[in-house]
Structure 1
Amino acid sequence: MAAHFPINHPLRPLYRVLSALAGLYMLVFGVAGFIETSGADFFTRDEAEWVLGLRTNPAFSLLSIVAGVVVLGANIIGRNLAHQINQLAGVILTVVGMASLALMQTEANIFAFSMVNVIVTFILGGIMGVASLYDRVGSANAASAEETHRHSARVAA
């Protein structure tokens, strides 16, 4: 059974704005973190700094900059690119949050994650995951066909 995402949902602009704000937060955090941690070892855990409420090192800051640019850019461009990037970002952030939670107290914690980082990662992943459910776009005919299919599947079940 394939997933059926609504097309041209009335709240699509709101979800795109929320995802764009999440991407902007990642970008601003990454830039501020990279500036704050300049000079430290790339994967340091000992010299990690607190920036915008999260613990970071240069590696995590750089990764946040890249992720923020991709998410923010996709949501500014819109179309179905935003849908696919938000869906992918939601899954990736959820997996990263779980992996970071598992590795937090080990030497494998290369991004110097703390519990706050894990919680924020889950929140950002949730925002983007939910946004991806409602930000798909298409023609009026495609939206009508999807709506008809969703309602006919419910009646048949």
Structure 2
Amino acid sequence: MPHFPINHPARPLYRVLAGLIGLYILVFGVWGVAQTLGDPLFDRGSNWVLGLRTNLAFSLASVLFGAVLIIGASRRGNLGHYMNLTAGVVFLVTSILMMSVLQTDANILNFSMSTVIISMVFGLVLLGTGLYDKVGPPEHAEEAQRHRSHPVSQGER
């Protein structure tokens, strides 16, 4: 069973990172909707916002996803932990899938290679924040700390 650190001391920093990514995605989405409003939903035009190519569908999805990430980062419990893990995986899988269809008609969200790279970076950061922002009772954190500092876990036999 995987071990997630509980009550990590840098947890507030990780939540801020997840919130900043959510804010960037939300701003990107709102700006993209404003720029592409009136275009077809899956237009393959050359609309660029904050260095990423977009269309109305991708902008609307970004507004929704950015808001969800901000909500997850603002929660004190483990909701943000699970949301960041899930969002990290979604970003990574989506970026790989979209990279495979960049130069085809299947590129319905109008991704560019810069969008793929940013999605991969965001996915890795969100996955990392999800690994370290788990919350638990103090006794669980103390038990995890004792387990980590046990001589057998440090390789001393």
Same fold at TM > 0.5: yes
**2:5 alignment partner AA:** P
Query: CA–CA distance in 2 between the matches of 1:155 and 1:32?
Result: 50
Normalized against structure 1, the TM-score is what? 0.93
TM-aligned CA deviation for residue 79 of structure 1: 1.5
Match of 1:25 in 2: 24
**1:84 alignment partner AA:** Y
**2:58 alignment partner AA:** F
Match of 1:101 in 2: 99
Point out the more displaced range, 146-155 or 109-118.
146-155
Q: Is the 8 A contact 1:55 1:112 kept in 2?
A: yes
Q: How many residues align?
A: 155
- Structure 2 unaligned regions, length at least 5: none
Q: How does 1:34-49 map to 2 (within 5 A)?
A: 34-45=33-44, 47-49=45-47
Match of 2:136 in 1: 138
Match of 2:5 in 1: 6
- Structure 1 unaligned regions, length at least 5: none
TM-aligned CA deviation for residue 127 of structure 1: 1.1
Cα RMSD of the aligned pairs, angstroms, is 1.5
Determine if the alignment matches structure 1 residue 127 to structure 2 residue 125: yes
1:59 to 57, 60, 63: 57
Percentage of matched positions with identical amino acids: 45
Normalized against structure 2, the TM-score is what? 0.93
Tell me, what secondary structure is at the counterpart of 2:39?
coil
